[in-house]
Structure 1
Amino acid sequence: MFRTTILNRIEETAIMAIVRVETIERAIEIAGGCLEGGVDCLEISYTLPNASEIIEQLNTHYQEQLLIGAGTVLDSETARLAILAGAKFIIAPNYNESVCKLCNRYQIPYMPGCSSVTEMITAIEAGAAMVKAFPISTYYGPTLITTLKTPTPYLPIMSSGGANKENIDEWLESGVDCIGIGSLLTKGTKEEIATNAKQLKQAVIKYKMKKK
């Protein structure tokens, strides 16, 4: 799968589930709920030691139905392990040059966390596919994206934190390219996750129809 194909899918879905999970059974339940609601992009966090196993198992179970990536990837060693496990993109709370180089080598989109315009431009110039507004999107909300996009309209931005069912329309209107969602898409039953995913995805569909 080429880097551009992966990015197109992320931007098309526009919603990404941020998943921290201890068992493959729960991971499959979360993934199933997300899929039922129309969200097919999942980030599996490397804050837990079994992240590689979860990525492998989800890829085996769902194959092309899901786009699975790795999150909280702080160094190139972890990035390589994630890619070998089948991660189709790499996300981090920080920018790391060695991770960026490795991802570019294997045509894997890299989305580092940045909190200033200087960091964001540095990351994009080095080859990052998208920047993650972290942790600032949690504090400033959707107006942050509008502010950042005014001087740098070409800058692809993923938000991480701060988005919910009540303000999803504001985030979409801000011009954000992908919205990372945690609890709404990872807590509760499979049915509850599916309901939340469907509401979020419907907001995306409505927004894109309005833009046409």
Structure 2
Amino acid sequence: MNTSLTDVLAGARLMPVLTVPDPATAAPLAEALAAGGARCAEVTFRTPDAEQVVKTMAAHGGLTVGAGTILTAEQAERAVDAGARFVVSPGLDDEVIATCRELGVPVVPGIATPTELMRALKAGLDTVKLFPAEALGGTSTLRALAAPFPRMRFVPTGGIRAEGLAAYLAEPSVLAVGGSWPATPAHLERGQYAEIRRLTADAVAVAVARSTP
């Protein structure tokens, strides 16, 4: 299934980044996100049961589910076997990129410097994750990095909060914005699915308002 990330996201500009310690919360989480209008979600591979979470959320059918915090080619393989339709990594790893290409899934490696951007271009990529976006300087750094690389699209992630979403989405180089605020581990622990739905709907409304024609 060789598709581009743009095809996978299907016009979505919000990517909830999810750390899900308890796989029992995956099904109601997927329902809450979808009900709030999210089209995709990134499940981080930071927890022991991340594969099961990906399987459960992918089975919901209302979301395009990807895997994040992928550090190795072996993790990428397991994620795709579990149902991930795209892969996100905190850094730029040649083996992860090659494996995703072999598997036919889009990969979004993390970058923080112009040198890493040049490596991404050399690898044939047109979309990267700016990470950690806020710690690196936010939209001003994004703008500075994007200027010499007009064909590159960015998915800024890391420290972004609801109040900063619109500013990132206003940048022409931004394909989507990743953030954990719509559904945190604390929300899941407390069973606050109505709150997850509300926060997601608020973020989706901002994304729709800022969508490019």
Give TM-score scaled by structure 1 length.
0.90
Task: Confirm or deny that 1:116 pairs with 2:113.
Answer: yes
2:16·2:183 contact (CA, 8 Å) conserved in 1?
A: yes
Gaps in structure 2 of 5+ consecutive residues: none
1:104·1:127 contact (CA, 8 Å) conserved in 2?
A: no
Corresponding residue for residue 183 of structure 1: 181
Q: Cα RMSD between the aligned structures?
A: 1.8
Look up the equivalent residue of 1:184 and give its one-letter code.
Answer: P
1:18·1:182 contact (CA, 8 Å) conserved in 2?
A: yes
Q: CA deviation at 1:162?
A: 3.4
Corresponding residue for residue 198 of structure 1: 201
CA distance in 2 between counterparts of 1:34 and 1:134 reads 23
Matched pairs, number: 207
DSSP 3-state at the match of 1:142:
helix
More helix by share: 1
Q: Of 86, 90, 93, which residue of structure 1 is paired with 2:90?
A: 93
Corresponding residue for residue 46 of structure 1: 45
Corresponding residue for residue 132 of structure 1: 129
- Poorly superposed stretches of 4+, deviation over 6 Å: none
Distance 1:182 1:141, change over 3 A: same
Q: CA deviation at 1:76?
A: 0.6
Give TM-score scaled by structure 2 length.
0.89
DSSP 3-state at the match of 2:206:
helix
- CA displacement, residues 147-193 of structure 1 (integer Å, 9 cap, x when unaligned): 22222121111111233222222111123111001133334311111
Corresponding residue for residue 164 of structure 2: 167
DSSP 3-state at the match of 2:210:
helix
Gaps in structure 1 of 5+ consecutive residues: none
Q: Of 137, 144, 147, which residue of structure 2 is paired with 1:147?
A: 144
1:100·1:128 contact (CA, 8 Å) conserved in 2?
A: no
CA distance in 2 between counterparts of 1:142 and 1:10 reads 22
Q: CA deviation at 1:14?
A: 0.8
1:163·1:171 contact (CA, 8 Å) conserved in 2?
A: no
Corresponding residue for residue 3 of structure 2: 3
DSSP 3-state at the match of 1:131:
strand
